[in-house]
Structure 1
Amino acid sequence: MKIGLYFGSFNPVHNGHMIIAGYVSEFTDLDQVWLVVSPHNPLKPKQTLLNDYQRLAMVKLAIGNNRKIKATDIEFKLPKPNYTIDTITYLHEQFPSHTFVLIMGADNLESFKKWKNWEMLLEQCELYVYPRKESDGGELLHHPRVKVINAPLVELSASFIRESIRNKKDVRYMLPESVWDYVEEMHFYEKGPSND
């Protein structure tokens, strides 16, 4: 199978994420898209990030019964700090018959040469790149291993959603309904970063 890997902290998963995942699963040659929930990034402040398993639960709620998209906690099991190249190496060992593709925004492609072992990563995986406002993808955009996909341009960020919830704004239409219900029920993101 040809699997697209869509990495993110998904804090929370929102309709922008799901539109990209849905588009790539239906309009490219991928058999499945795996949403890889990243554990806490040592470079990011911990206080704004929900527990790993709470974020995984929201991704599973967002996906529902779609067989072409699945949530994975594969990175939870790997040593930290973890890099994408380590995840890819592990996945190739676990699933030798699968081909893996990295799904990323044009902004990530611009900084891709800063990633650990980026050249090896590009040898092992194609990159499917979706458009991002104010980003042209940089010098790797025309690399033979890079495929630009014409996914809808969605300007929605998890940080905007978190801040809006803190400010008591109703953002239910920016999240899958099941995710919004869970966020409300659990009172996620209602307090400022210092109280999380």
Structure 2
Amino acid sequence: MKIGLYFGTFNPIHAGHLIIANHMVEHTDLDQVWMVVTPHNPLKKKSSLLDDYHRLHMVHLATENYPKLKASDIEFKLPQPNYTTHTLTYLEEKYANYEFALIMGEDNLNSLHKWKNYEVILKNYSLYVYPRLETKDVVADGVVNGTDKFDYKNNPKIKMIDAPVVEISSTFIRENIKSNKNVQPLLSPKVWEYIDHNLFYKK
């Protein structure tokens, strides 16, 4: 079985995440996509990041009607800070019969050379890359990176996927909730109900 790993804080998970994940599993050779919830780094200021298990629960709620999409708390069990290379090593040991690949936006691909052990990742794993309208400052593997370009386009491990361009951000959703604007079209109904019931992102 071939598993695509889609990492994110999912704070909160929204329609854009589901569109990308579902496209990957329906239009590539991936059998499943695991939505890997990135835990809060205890050394960093929490800001508006919800508790790990609230974010995981929302991913469960959002994916319950998508049998090929799975919520994963695998990084909750690993030492902080989280590095993708360590997570991949752990998964290879735990699921020896599975093949893993990474799913990322083109913005993250452009800063892959700043990741820990990126050469090892690129040698051993396929990368399924979806397009972004523009490359902004992004968080890549725990470090805030600029827009440095590094040409991987001709690497056989890089698979550029013609997925829909979705420019919905969790930041936009949080800011709009705080401003009492209606964001329901951007969220799964049960995710919206969970956020509204718990008054998340109101402050």
Q: TM-score, normalised by structure 2?
A: 0.91
For the 8 Å contact 2:113–2:150, the answer to whether it is kept is no
Q: Which runs of 4+ in 1 moved over 3 A?
A: 41-45, 135-138
Aligned residue for 2:25, secondary structure, equals helix
CA distance in 2, matches of 1:4, 1:43: 28
Q: 2:190 aligns with which of 164, 175, 178?
A: 178
Deviation for aligned residue 1:142: 2.2
CA distance in 1, matches of 2:102, 2:43: 21
The match for 1:194 is: none
By percentage of residues, which structure has more helix?
Answer: 1
The match for 2:99 is: 99
Aligned residue for 1:127, secondary structure, equals strand
Match runs of 1:15-26 below 5 Å: 15-26=15-26
- Change in 2 beyond 3 A, CA 1:89/1:58: same
For the 8 Å contact 1:109–1:141, the answer to whether it is kept is no
CA distance in 2, matches of 1:45, 1:131: 30
The match for 1:144 is: 156
The match for 1:30 is: 30
CA distance in 2, matches of 1:156, 1:45: 24
Q: TM-score, normalised by structure 1?
A: 0.94
- How many residue pairs get matched? 191
Deviation for aligned residue 1:113: 0.3
CA RMSD of aligned residues (A): 1.4
CA distance in 2, matches of 1:186, 1:37: 20
Which amino acid counterpart does residue 159 of structure 2 have in structure 1? K
Q: Which runs of 5+ in 1 are unaligned?
A: 192-196
Counting aligned pairs with the same residue, the percent is 57
Match runs of 1:54-133 below 5 Å: 54-133=54-133
The match for 2:144 is: none
Q: Which runs of 5+ in 2 are unaligned?
A: 136-146
CA distance in 2, matches of 1:44, 1:108: 21
Deviation for aligned residue 1:42: 5.8
